Every structure is written in C-alpha cells, then in structure tokens.
Structure 1
Amino acid sequence: MIFLQYVKRVVLSCAHRSLPVLVLLTLCTLVPCSTWAAGRGTIVVGGDHNYPPYEFLDKNGHPAGFNVDLTRAIAEVMGMTVEIRLGRWEEIRKALQRGEVDIVQGMVQAEVRARDYDFSPPHSIINQSVFARRGARTVQTLGDLKGKEVFVQNGGMMHDYLLEKNVGAAIFPVDTHIDALRQLAAGKHDYALVGNLPGLYLSREFGLSNIVPVGKLFAGQPYCYAVKKGNDQILSQFSEGLAILKNTGRYQKIHDKWLGALEPPAVSWRKILTYAAITALPLLLMLSAIGYINRRLAKEVALRTEEMQLQQQQLIQADKMASLGVLVSGIAHEINNPTGLLLYNLPVLKKIFRSTEEHLEQRFQKEGDFMIGGLRYSQFREDIPLLIDEMQDGATRIKRIVEDLKDFARKDTSQMDQSVLLNDVVRAALRLVENPIRKTTGNVVTELADGLPAFRGNAQRIEQVVVNLILNACQALPDPGKGIFLTTSFDAERNEVLLVVRDEGVGIAGEDLPRIADPFFTTKREVGGTGLGLSVSASIIKEHQGTMVFESQPGEGTTVRVALPALQGA
C-alpha cells in the first residue's frame, strides 16, 4: 500500500502531462501490491564488472554506474528487493541461462539474440566503434575487416554478430573492453570492436593516447534489461519501473549524472538568441576591455598549456613503466628456469645422439633402412640434429628476449661515476659486433676525433647503446654494398661529446619515426625484433643526462645522433 500511495502521488502530480501516466494510475488501483514484486523475494540482477560508465566495480569493489543507479531506482519505486551482481560478461550470460541471475541490467537487443532473451524497452542507445592505433586506415564496411585480427568482448554483441555473419576476420575474444584496448595499444592485432562510449571513457581513464576510433559500422543499438526467454514477470516489473522513472523525471537525473558529461546537451536556437540579446552589450564591453590583455597573455598561456600536457604525458608514461616493471620482474624468473633446462639438456641430447649414431649406421649398412621414432632412419639421421639445433637456437633467443626485458624494466644500480672516453667505448663496441658486421657489409667507416674530453657515467652501459645502434644499422642494410658510418666529435659551445651512427639502409617511415624508441615497437618483428633495444638505449642515454635523436628517410637510410655532457675542464 505504501508503494501504491507513492505512485498515486507521483502520477497525480504529473497527470496533466501524459495520458499513459493516467493509464498507469488505473492499473495501480487495480493490481494487488503482491504482483509488483518478485514472488520469490530478492531478485538477482547481473551486469558487466568493467563497462564504464554504464556498469563497473568502483575502487572499493562496489557496483557503480548508470545501470546500477537505474536498477536501484526501479527497485525502490516498484517495491522490489534486488541484489546487483557484477562479473565477467560471459560468466554473467551463462549464469542468466542457468537461472542463477534473474535479469541483466544492460544488453544490446539484436535479432541474433531474440531466440534466447526477452528485452525491456531500451533505457539507452549503444553505438559500436572500431578502434585502432593512430595512423591505421579507416574502416567503412564490415568487408574492410576481412583478413584482419579483431578484438571483441567474449560473449558481447560484436562477438555474437561477427560469429553469425562470418565476415572473414580473425576474432580474438577478451574478457573486458579494457583488455581489448590495452592489448591493441601495446601493438597486438589490428582492431578492437567495442562500445563507442565505454571505449572513449576507458581510453581517457587509462591514458591510451595512441588508439582512436576509425569507423562506426552500425547505427545506434537499443540497450535494454534482458531476461531468459519466457521470464516475462520480472521483465514487466522492470519495464514498468523504467516508465515511472522516465515520466517523473528521475531517469533524466540519473542519465545526466553518468552520461550528461559525455554527451553534448541540446540547446534550442530560441534560448541561444534570447541569451545573446540579453548579454550582447555587456559582453562587447568586456571583450573590448580584456582584448589587449588577452593578446599579451596568449603566448604565455599556450606555453604553459604545452608544458602541462607534456607533464601529464610523462606521468602517464611513468605509471605505465612502473606497471611494466612489476610485470617483467614477475615473469622473467618463471621463463628463465625452463629455458635454462633446455639450454643445458639440448647439448646433452645432441651428444647422446652422436654417440649412438655409429651403432645406428652399422645397423643401416647391415639391414638397410629401418623405422625409429616413427621416421625412417635415412631421414632421422638428417633431421634430428637440425631439430636439436633449432630448439637450442630458439631457447637462446628466449633467453636473450628475457634479458632485454629485464634490462628494460630494472632500475640500474651500476656505478655512474666513471670518467669515460667515447672513442674507447666505440672501439670496444666495434670489436664486440665484428662478426655481425662482417656478415652484413664490407663498408664500415669510422672517423674518431682526437682529443675528445671525457664524460661522467658508465662505460659498459654506453657500450651497450653503441652495440644496439650498430646492430640496428646492420639489420637495416638491404645488401652488402651499403655502408655504416660512425663519427665522434666535440661541440664546444654546448660542451657535449657527440656520436653519429649513419647507415645506408631502408630507412624508417615517417609515421613510425616518433615511436621508434617506444617499448615493444619494432619494424622487424618478422625477423625476431622485440622492440626493446632502442627503448633500453634511450633509457641509458637519459640516465647520463644526454639526448638521442633519430633522422630518417625511407630508402635513404637513418642517422642517430647521441650527445653526452662533457666533464667541465676535461
């Protein structure tokens, strides 16, 4: 009765605005109160634990978001008791099918889902967007996804749709939208097909500045409450509660709280003209008074804004690097242990094979070809040594990648107080990479200036930088006729010692050049590049208070300039 009295007061207060409200009042007087609440007590309402701003778990682990506030408001006006349970979307869908969840508070309504679910009137409209890394081609039709690798949320609308339409894309399901966006930002696969508003929200919240929407393949889709097919009783209660909230204005307040800041408000031209007429004269006077000051301050404001943006980017990057360091420290040990066993045991295995080879050959000469391990011996004796060598090479490469990761992530504790001569470091680096150079080119030219002053730092760390730069130059050369040129010099005006490494290689595309020192970015992934060498090198140069600048033209080669502060008076 309390609920009915509440609804009557609400309806009477706005009866002059809507005929459906009067109909609802009539229903309220006829339907017993018991039919408005679930007969079995608490209604379990499911949702996605990471789909902001619609539904998510806040920093304290409590349900929050537009859908959550809407559900609680419906439960209040309908006199229902609800338990909101948020989890992985695919698990929530399965729980709905098993009857462990009674209703989900947000599901896109589509034909592909009509056989399994019933839907309420929509409480929102969801737009789906294709996200990609900056510089990627736009996607205009589903056909543009053919042959591409696409992230989707496991069990989400786009996952269902792509499976049904079979557009020819390689589908990679992940648990949440942020999983898809993070992996896409880290360089994995081609696209992420996710909700536009959650995608923009999460990109902003987690600082994923290198991914942007590149296409919208669908019109807005209705976003509704949904129940397992046939569970009409609960669905009707939520539909009626939603209608009450919309007619009383409470729905709009919840909408503005969560979505209003993300959606531009509509303003009528009449209001615009009215406000303009009222404020025109004071505004003109004010603009005249401050115009001169604005012109003088414009440059300073622009400069300060640029500095603040740079600081924000640095803070975001520092947070990413801290997270990466924790991750690498945790997995390096787990990878190194089995890799070490491979590197230790494979030579032993090869030695054992060689020791048995004589006896096997004798049998072959005596009996002819025979089967061993599912292979003919004539094939076995040729393939097995090669397979062992390939496994050993692979294990060695894994070990090298892990060492690169550890170098990249760990905070260096080596001494930085040595007095280092750049020419000595360059000569040592050349000796270390003599074999790769010999295999790549016969044209290496060095011009090391005499009398260079020393700089303070760590010779071994700078040697690592020079080795990385020379190896990168070797890998860039298209044929042995092209050359590599190393030059050292001293800039007295800036008091810096300089190293220039130039190659006549294939060069770097203009869109790739700004990211060349980013972690895990590489243009040589198909030949084993990890994208860590230049990131490690850039960190080392920064530790030495120096700079490293790249210049490149596709087809003409690349030049790297390293500058290190010389010791005063050296």
Structure 2
Amino acid sequence: MKQTIKPLFSLFFLLSVLLLTSIEAVAKDITTPHSTVLIGGDHNYPPYEFLNEQGQPDGYNVELTRAIAEVMGMDIDIQLSTWDSMRTKLTEGEIDVLQGMVYSEDRNQEFDFTPPHAIINQSIFARKGESRVSSLSALTNKEVIVQEGGIMHDYLLQQNVQATLILVDTHAAALRMLASGKHDYALVANLPGLYLGRELELSNITPVGKPFGTLEYGYALPKNHPQLLAQFSEGLAILKNTGRQQALYEKWLGTLEKPSLPWEKIGLFTGIASALLFLILSGIVIWNRMLTRQVSLRTDEIKRQHEQLIQADKMTSLGVLVAGVAHEINNPSSLLLLNLPVIKEMYQDMEPMLEERYQNEGDFDFAGLTYSRLRTEIPAILDDMLAGTQRIRRIVNDLRDFAHQRPADSYENVNLNDVVALSVRLVDNTIRKSTNHFETHYGNQLPLFLGNAQRIEQVVINLIVNACQALDDANKSISISTYYLQKTNRLCLEISDQGCGIDSSDLPRLSDPFFTTKREEGGTGLGLSISSSIINDHGGTLTYTSELGQGTKALVSLPAIHRDQSI
C-alpha cells in the first residue's frame, strides 16, 4: 500500500508544479506583454505631453508616469508620436499603456481606464471678430478642424454633426491652419489650445464660447491586463495620497496662477519681520493713539471728497445724456402739448351734438371720414397721446433716478440685465449716432448680485459711451453680452467694439485718475478710474483687452448671490 501512495504523490506534485508554471506564464502574458512596459502618448499636446527642445518626452503626463514607475518598481519606455498612430499601436498591442486618453462609454468597450488624473475641457476656437458659439449645433455646414482619432472627432461622428471635418495630426496643426485663414473653426482641448496659442504667438485666434465637454482624462490599457491596470491605479493613488501628483499638476497645469513663496522662506521672513515689528510696536501704539482722532476726521473728509468726485462725474455724464435724449423728449412733448388738449376739448364739446345728429339722421361725413368710423378712432388717438406721455415719463424718470445721489452703502439685490437695459435706453441716441450695428445678448435666468444699481449703471454708461467714441465709422459694431460663470459664481458683462483700439502700453494705466488719451477733446480721465473704483467696491473686477485698429473689449465681473441665498 505504501509503495502505491508514493508514486501517486510524486505524480500529483509534478502535475501541481506544471499547473502553477502554466498559470504563472499565462498571467505574465496577460498582465505584462513586454518585459519593459511600453508607454505611448501624443508628441504635441502641451502641457500634458510633448517633445521638448532636446527631442525628449516632457510634460505633466510624462513626469506623472515616471513617478508611478518609481513607486511601483516598474521599468518603462515612453514613446511619443502622433495621437492617431499611438491609439492604433495600443489597439494592436504594440504598446502597453496610453498615458493620457479621455474616457467615453464607447472607448470603455475597447479599453480599460485607471481613475482620472486630470479633467479636460474642450473649446471652439475661431479667428477674432467671429460671433460667439453657444453649442455644437452652430457648427452645422461649417468647416471644422479637429484632431484625427481624438475624442471630439469621435463625438462629432457619433452625434452626426453636419459639419465638414478637416482632420489633422495635432492641436498645433489645427490652430496654425485656423490662424492662416483656412476653414471656419478649430475644435480642440481648452488648456492645450490656450497654451499653444501663446507659445506659437497666434494672436488672431481666440475661444468663441464657454469651455464645454468636461471629460475625465487618465491612463488607458487594452482589455485583459488586470495586473498592469492595478499597478497604474495603485501608483496613481499613492501619488495622490502623498501630494506628489498635486505638485506635478500645479507645476504643469497651474501656470496661470501666481507663484507662491516656499513655506520655509515665509516662516523665516515672518519670524524676522515679527521681531523687528515688536521692537517698534510700542512707539507705534503711542503714536497711533495721538493720531486716531485726526485719522478719523481725515477719513470722513476723504469719503466726502470721494462721493463728490463720483457725483461730479455722474453729473458730467448726465449732461451728455440730456443732450442725447433731447430729441427723444421734444418730439413727443410737442405732439402731446399741441394736440392732446385740443382734441380732448373738441371731442368733449362736439360729442353730444354729433351723437344727436347720428341718431336722428344716420351716418354722415365729418372731416372727410364717416362719423361712425371717426367715433371709434378718436379714443385710439387719445390712447396714442397717452402712450407718448408714458414714454416721456419713463425717459424723465430714468434721468431723474440716474442723477439722484443715494448713499454708497445702500446695497440691494440687483438684476444685471435690468441695469444694462436701463443704461442702453439712456444712451440710445448716442448709440444710434455712432453705429448701425449694435447688438445685445442677455443671459437667461441670471442670478442676482448685491450692490448699488445706480453706480453700476454709471459704469455701464461710461463703458458704452467710450465704445461709441472709439468708432470712426457707423458700419463698425458694438456688442454687449451678459452671462454667468457657475464654476466661479461670477456674473460677467462684456462690451466689445470695433473701434480704434488702445496701445498696449496704455492699457495698464486706464484706471489711473486723470489719465486720458482724449485730453484735446475735453476728456478728464475720471470716468474709467471711477468705474474701476465702483466695481472694486462691489468685490468685482474691470479688465480690458485691446489691439490697435481692431477694437477693445471691457469685461466686468461681479460676485453673484447663490440662488438659495436670494430666495
């Protein structure tokens, strides 16, 4: 019996070893197709991945991949080429991983994805001067440049957008082609588009709509490689938990943010400054007590002067407005003053006699019209007179409210669209004299903001009048638009003109008191300075972009009230 068990045990052991060896070989084939993990990416997709001046892979994706390989003990080889060719290589198994691919349901049928390491927004770029695009449906019957094999190429085909697609290898090629005057739009990722536009100095193209298509961006692998997928997912999680991934993200994707000092230097500087301040603090406290009353008095005086300066500028603007709307007031006023009393008295005096004749003799002619017709039209004439009176009342009330000074701190919930509409009415005559192409685009269901409506009206009027004065041809346009940025909870007002533009050296000085380029035309240099001060008091910003001979855009940004706060 023992002799029989021993050969069986040996046979069982041999079969187990062979089975484990086979399983290990199969697992190795499934999880690590190559001894060195081959990583692919786009060779011109900055700042995510690109070939630098030395021809070496660089960018956020590249450094993140190398960090994952370091913490997971992997040997890797990063290869960058055209996106479409790299996607094909991943499909055919020539590479193991793509270090950056936008996730979609269709792509998930073909590839496995790690958790995302970035979020990608898409933007529609056009040459400057083109109208804003609010949705992809506006691309119908247009020529659209798009990266071949990219997510927007997939999406446009899937949604059957009726546009002519011009396929290119890279985002850079798309933007260069658009900047050279070819085709209508380029549909590219927002951050790479802005980055390439700056690096390639393509100053004649710009996004023409809000960024859209917020999509997850991460590592992609072919199906049936669970161990390799787990390694990259775990490595990415380690980098996120240790803060290393965030550091790489800020290095490459946070370039527009102002750099901050290292905490060690801040601590050292704070310690030295605190010691010095402590030595002089006692003297400052004593001196401060002596000056408190004087400072208080001086502060009140400055506030009064500031209010007077704002009111003076407002009255200057009001003088321009009164001259502009004089024509609008005089015509309906003259019509009403001459006709309404006469017609009313005539009709009241003659109505009994006319009615008596009509009842006794039937219909008759009166002033070339049958009385039966005239008796119904006279009330309509009086209604027209009343409409003219209401129009005068509205104009006069608008001017009276604008000229009336209210306390600076009388803040209330304000509708930006109402403020802009009122301001446009007040300068309607100036607008019609300056341009034949004036457009307004009001955002739908904008949230309110907390502020002083009259002061914001003053800012809007100043900006519109400046835009009108910048035009030298009535065929050039002015456009006004309002919209809401939900991500930052900001209300925005854009006023754009196709006027003479502003020299780049003058742009930083527009908010300086008494700075003006219109001194010979009587400009005081106070309008934009006061406008900037008003917007700052409301917690907002007022910025300008301009090119000589091309025009100027003023952008007002104000903090919105969250909808649940305004209920």
Q: TM-score, normalised on structure 1? A: 0.41
Mark the structure with the bigger radius of gyration. Answer: 2
